[in-house]
Amino acid sequence: MTMRQQARADYGEIRDEVNKLCARFPGEYWRALDRTQGYPTEFVEELTRAGYLAALIPEAFGGAGLPLSGAAAILEEIQKAGCNGGACHAQMYIMGAVLRHGSDAQKQNYLPKIASGELRLQAFGVTEPTSGTDTSSIVTFARRDGDRYIIKGQKIWTSRAEHSDLMLVLARTTPKAEVVKRTDGLSVFLIDMREAKKNGLSIRPIRTMMNHATTEVFFDNVPIPADGLVGEEGKGFRYILSGMNAERILIGAECVGDAKWFIDKATNYGKERQVFGRPIAQNQGVQFPIAKAYAQMRAAELMVREAAALFEAGEECGAEANMAKMLAAEASWAAAEACVQTFGGFAFAEEYDVERKFREARLYQVAPISTNLILSYLSEHVLGMPRSY
Ligand SMILES: Cc1cc2nc3c(=O)[nH]c(=O)nc-3n(C[C@H](O)[C@H](O)[C@H](O)COP(=O)(O)OP(=O)(O)OC[C@H]3O[C@@H](n4cnc5c(N)ncnc54)[C@H](O)[C@@H]3O)c2cc1C
């Protein structure tokens, strides 16, 4: 039976299979990698072999052809099992840009190889050190030179660049001063990093508070074939935006999975741990933060589902995708807090995985978009208040 046929309303069978796969990668596996900031190569290879990272690639190109909610179910289960989808989740949504806006040649060349695992498309270079959240102010420039572009500039926080063959990059092709709309003149390129590394592309890892394989990427006049341009020159911002809703919904699903992991851990520990001659979870002071996080998680889960349903129906879902990501990131953080407090001192011991997941969960209120910017979006675009920046 194909994954597509298995797809039920809640993807029960897929969830079970993902769970079985994740059980082969227990806490010790992640703790060992965490110490050395190593990449979970075996885990990513297994997910690829099982076809999960190709969930959104159409069957015609060798993928599973699942709707977005199927990919969301896979990522949620990974996080719920205590694993870390951050090592590879980008492959699911990055290739959407190629799928929606790429040429037939790009799709034929890359999608089947990405689906089979022959090529990894894990790196997505948007953020730059001087522009931060203000994407239209990026300065990495791609200059047309005959049948190629020459890229010069720098990206930061380009996660998984060292573990990817391909990279999707946003660069200016017309200076900001020369465009009417600040988001015009930006273009998306699909770069073969194996070639680019021989011609001026270099990668420097950034050590972070959690194991995320993130890097700085430097482009020192890197020539790339002109057919690496995705879609039309100058329209890249729109292409990136269309993928961002998918990214936010999928990250929201991961946060729901994280919240479930913390709630499960806290609940079980609270029932077992005896202090003053009774389980600590008998105290309302211990119960209530867990129960509250549960309610927050369930509300976020509904918003993730609503956003995914709108996305799948091809309807506008910017507000729902943003709210799903924000509410789910807040729910996972509330659950993380409750879990630490329930475990008390033992939360700080590596062997319970609580401190590792706590560090990992914090990211999603900042990346891929910070909570403030989501609130600004809702204020301006949903509630009609004046733009604040
Ligand atoms: C581990 C990690 C992995 C990442 N992976 C990737 C990746 O693979 N590819 C990629 O392109 N990027 C990646 N990012 C970058 C991430 O998307 C950015 O960090 C994020 O968008 C915030 O940008 P910034 O860090 O420059 O913060 P800034 O833009 O400098 O903002 C700092 C703070 O100021 C607030 N702020 C800024 N402007 C306003 C405003 N107008 N109103 C209110 N508040 C404001 C923000 O909300 C934020 O809290 C990653 C980041 C991290 C930490």
Q: List C-alpha distances in Å: 86 to 255, 306, 364.
A: 11, 23, 10
Q: Which atom of ligand 1 is nearest to the CA of 370?
A: 47
Tokens of 336: 């993380």
Who's near 313: CB < 8 A, 6+ residues apart? none
According to the model, what pLDDT value does residue 93 have?
A: 87
> pLDDT tens digit string along 351-370?
999 999 999 999 999 999 99
Give the SS3 label for residue 12. helix
Please tell me if the CB atom of residue 260 comes closer than 6 angstroms to any atom of ligand 1: no
Burial class (CB in 10 A: 0-12, 13-18, 19+), 376: middle
Whether pLDDT at 6 is above 60? no
Average pLDDT over residues 47-63: 96
Tokens of 39: 């990449």
Ligand 1 probe mutation, 88, 157, 189, most atoms within 8 A of CB: 157
The residue whose CA has the least distance to atom 27 of ligand 1 is 132
Who's near 98: CB < 8 A, 6+ residues apart? 106, 107, 110, 111, 121, 168, 190, 230
Who's near 218: CB < 8 A, 6+ residues apart? 154, 201, 202, 203, 204
Please tell me if the CB atom of residue 299 comes closer than 6 angstroms to any atom of ligand 1: no
Ligand 1 center from residue 132 Cα (angstroms): 6
Neighbour count for residue 353 (Cβ, 10 Å): 20
Ligand 1 center from residue 369 Cα (angstroms): 6
According to the model, what pLDDT value does residue 241 have?
A: 86
Average pLDDT over residues 367-376: 97
- What mean pLDDT is reported for the chain? 96
Query: Which one, of 101, 79, 48, 67, lies nearest residue 236 by Cα?
Result: 101
Residues 44, 162 contacting (CB under 8 angstroms): no
Q: Which atom of ligand 1 is nearest to the CA of 133?
A: 29
Give the SS3 label for residue 302. helix
Helix extents (H) in 117-221:
193-196
Query: Which one, of 51, 52, 29, 50, lies nearest residue 41 by Cα?
Result: 29
Residue reference for tokens 């099982």: 50
Of residues 322 and 94, more confidence is placed in 322
Please tell me if the CB atom of residue 370 comes closer than 6 angstroms to any atom of ligand 1: yes
Model confidence at 242, pLDDT cuts 50, 70, 90, reads confident
Please tell me if the CB atom of residue 93 comes closer than 6 angstroms to any atom of ligand 1: no
Ligand 1 probe mutation, 37, 94, 133, 209, most atoms within 8 A of CB: 133
Q: Which pTM does this prediction carry?
A: 0.97
Whether pLDDT at 9 is above 80? no
Please tell me if the CB atom of residue 376 comes closer than 6 angstroms to any atom of ligand 1: yes
Whether pLDDT at 35 is above 60? yes
> pLDDT tens digit string along 256-315?
999 999 999 999 999 999 999 999 999 999 999 999 999 999 999 999 999 999 999 999
Ligand 1 probe mutation, 39, 94, 127, 360, most atoms within 8 A of CB: 127
> pLDDT tens digit string along 156-202?
999 999 999 999 999 999 999 999 999 999 999 999 999 999 999 99
Query: Which one, of 129, 207, 197, 199, lies nearest residue 164 by Cα?
Result: 197
Residue reference for tokens 């209120």: 365
> pLDDT tens digit string along 98-155?
999 999 999 999 999 999 999 999 999 999 999 999 999 999 999 999 999 999 999 9
- Tally of CA atoms within 13 A in the half-sphere of 40 that contains its CB: 25
Amino acid present at 159: S
Whether pLDDT at 18 is above 80? yes
Q: Which of 7-16, 61-70, 122-131 has the lowest mean pLDDT?
A: 7-16
Ligand 1 center from residue 150 Cα (angstroms): 27
Dist. CA 331–CA 321, nearest whole Å: 15
Backbone angles phi, psi at 341, to 5 degrees: -65, -35
Tokens of 22: 């994740």
Please tell me if the CB atom of residue 217 comes closer than 6 angstroms to any atom of ligand 1: no
Burial class (CB in 10 A: 0-12, 13-18, 19+), 67: middle
Model confidence at 2, pLDDT cuts 50, 70, 90, reads low
The residue whose CA has the least distance to atom 33 of ligand 1 is 370
**DSSP secondary structure string for all residues of 290-339:** HHHHHHHHHHHHHHHHHHHHHHHTT---HHHHHHHHHHHHHHHHHHHHHH
